[in-house]
Amino acid sequence: MTAVAELMDYADVIERFNPVLGLEVHVELNTNTKMFCGCPNEFGGEPNTKVCPTCLGLPGALPAVNGKAVEGAIRIGLALNCEIAEWCRFARKNYFYPDMPKNFQTSQYDEPIAFNGYLDVTLDDGEVVRVEIERAHMEEDTGKSLHVGGATGRIHGAEHSLLDYNRAGVPLIEIVTKPIEGTGERAPEVARAYVSALRDLLRALDVSDVRMDQGSLRCDANVSLMAKDATEFGTRTETKNVNSLRSVERAVRYEMTRQAAILAEGGSIKQETRHFQEADGTTSSGRTKETAEDYRYFPEPDLVPIAPSREWVEELRGTLPEMPSERRKRIQQEWSLSDEALRDLLNVGAVDLVAATVEAGASPDEARGWWVNTLAQEANSREVELADLPITPKQLAEVIALVSSGELTNKLAKEVVQGVLAGEGEPRDVVEKRGLKVVSDDSALLAAIDEALAAQPDVAEKIRGGKVAAAGAIVGAVMKATKGQADAKRVRELIIERVGS
């Protein structure tokens, strides 16, 4: 029967099927040079300017392993509670694609450097899910194709393609989970939480900048469904290169509803790669998914095996930083946070941002209030991750300091933050350009107070009669006259003095 493209209601999916996930996360390492040559490992630049005979796969060019990349791979494996291989080697993964100049990718097949690990992941309500890691192996990234013309930006329908090999050969670690079962309706949430936790871990290790928007952290989401009475996994699809936490969750959810609709109609799932469409949250067919045999793996003859000594591995274990989960527990105690307050921080991805803001001089409560409320709302409206907003913890700490010193009111501070977000410069630059400094000259304030009192003589009489709360109307008029740049507390003090004199 022909498969239909309709979607099944999510509640019905959960009632009829058990989802099974497999997540493959690719991490570009932040080494100075590429994996097998001396070309600079830098994002961007003019196309095809960071290349050499080795990463272009020219005849006679020989690779040499980047030792710093091996060190990074081992540290990642240790942080993921993996076993580290005493002996492993590289393999050639053979397939043709224009952005891979050698027509094979130097990777690891059945002998990864790290294997059998796990990562404990905390969901929004505090539930902890253990995600088991199958392997973390070393490989090189491919180049980039730009498909010109057509409606989708994909190769299908394009008029022509351009190739940029700057990224070819960049050190890459692929982290592959074991099948993730038993998560039920929370499967999409688990997928997002896992990638988020992994990103936090990699950032703590300082092995990658984990910029999903730039492709240095990418997730391939494998999804399959099992009927409730089934004993074998269903056929999986692999949604490639999903590049935001929100998109990981959306892609998994969509695939579950799409596959369920096909299976319910008696159709079958095609094992294939799929592309996630950011605009509408759907996936579209890519190409039929190969099996391992199709890649014709064989040992890389130009590279010697990697055999890290146990002494070196233990030395690297000693370099591991405080893990994010341990750091969160410590921060919760130091900042006296309730479980609910900590979850709020986690849910918006603000723990590291708040900590960095505190380190820059702000108090925990002030930093938390800005990131969890004002800036989280801004991130939601822009549909970006909180950490991707164009404001740094140091800049926010400076804004908070300006409020504490009395140079800004909270209202003005919000304008300054908006200016920083708009790219108008550092906080003090925004203050100067927008003229946002608090009016602290008593003579200027008294002039505005006198004008407001003259306009509202009845309010003045109420204040003289002991109804001090009536001063709020005068305060409001003064704030309006000064465009919100007066210190409301000082204005109130001056009003009481003025009326009483």
- Which of 183-197, 267-281, 470-484 reaches the highest mean pLDDT? 183-197
Considering only the C-alpha atoms of the chain, give the largest distance between any 2 of them, rounded to a whole number of Å: 96
**Mean pLDDT, residues 257-264 taken together:** 96
Give the C-alpha separation, 35 to 54, whole Å: 10
- C-alpha closest to that of 204 among 81, 321, 307, 347: 321
- C-alpha closest to that of 356 among 392, 389, 398, 391: 392
Q: Quote the pLDDT of residue 339.
A: 86
Inform me whether the pLDDT recorded for 471 exceeds 80. Answer: no
Question: Model pTM?
Answer: 0.79
Inform me whether the pLDDT recorded for 491 exceeds 80. Answer: no
Alpha-carbon distance values, 292 to 231, 271, 272, 287, 295 (Å)? 23, 13, 14, 15, 6
**Mean pLDDT, residues 78-89 taken together:** 98
Give the C-alpha separation, 451 to 469, whole Å: 19
| Exposed / middle / buried, residue 100 (Cβ in 10 Å: 0-12, 13-18, 19+) | buried
- C-alpha closest to that of 371 among 382, 200, 358, 383: 358
Q: Quote the pLDDT of residue 287.
A: 79
Give the C-alpha separation, 12 to 9, whole Å: 5
Residue holding tokens 């946070």? Answer: 337
Inform me whether the pLDDT recorded for 275 exceeds 70. Answer: yes
Alpha-carbon distance values, 272 to 21, 43, 145, 192, 217 (Å)? 15, 30, 20, 22, 22
pLDDT-based confidence at residue 468 (cuts at 50, 70, 90): low
| Beta-carbon count within 10 A of 397 CB | 22
Which phi and psi (to 5°) does residue 295 adopt?
-85, -10
Is the distance from CB of 138 to CB of 113 less than 8 angstroms? yes
**Mean pLDDT, residues 250-269 taken together:** 96
Give the C-alpha separation, 317 to 286, whole Å: 40
User: Could you tell me which residues come within 8 angstroms of residue 270 by beta carbon, excluding any fewer than 6 positions away?
Assistant: 235, 237, 285, 288
pLDDT-based confidence at residue 360 (cuts at 50, 70, 90): very high
Give the C-alpha separation, 118 to 110, whole Å: 19
Is the distance from CB of 61 to CB of 54 less than 8 angstroms? yes
Q: What is the pLDDT of residues 194-239, one digit of tens each?
A: 999 999 999 999 999 999 988 999 999 999 999 999 999 999 999 9
Is the distance from CB of 48 to CB of 165 less than 8 angstroms? yes
Burial readout 152-191 (b: 16 or more C-beta within 10 A, e: otherwise): eeeeeebeeeeebbbbbbbbbbbbbbeebeebeebbbbbb
End-to-end CA distance of the chain: 91
pLDDT-based confidence at residue 365 (cuts at 50, 70, 90): very high
Q: Is 306 helix (H, G, I), strand (E, B) or coil?
A: strand
Give the C-alpha separation, 488 to 295, whole Å: 70
**Mean pLDDT, residues 121-145 taken together:** 93
Give domain 442-500's CATH number out of 3.30.160, 2.30.30, 1.10.10, 1.20.120. 1.10.10
Lowest mean pLDDT among 98-107, 124-133, 134-143, 144-153: 144-153
Inform me whether the pLDDT recorded for 75 exceeds 90. Answer: yes
Which phi and psi (to 5°) does residue 51 adopt?
-135, 160
Is the distance from CB of 275 to CB of 155 less than 8 angstroms? no
More confidently predicted of 432 and 498: 432
Q: Considering the chain, tell me which residue range(s) the CATH 1.10.10 domain(s) occupy.
A: 442-500
Q: What is the mean pLDDT of the chain?
A: 89
Q: What is the pLDDT of residues 376-416, one digit of tens each?
A: 999 999 988 898 899 999 999 999 998 888 778 788 889 89
**Mean pLDDT, residues 104-111 taken together:** 94
Q: Quote the pLDDT of residue 96.
A: 84
Q: Quote the pLDDT of residue 61.
A: 94
Inform me whether the pLDDT recorded for 122 exceeds 80. Answer: yes
- Which of 170-179, 403-412, 416-425 reaches the highest mean pLDDT? 170-179
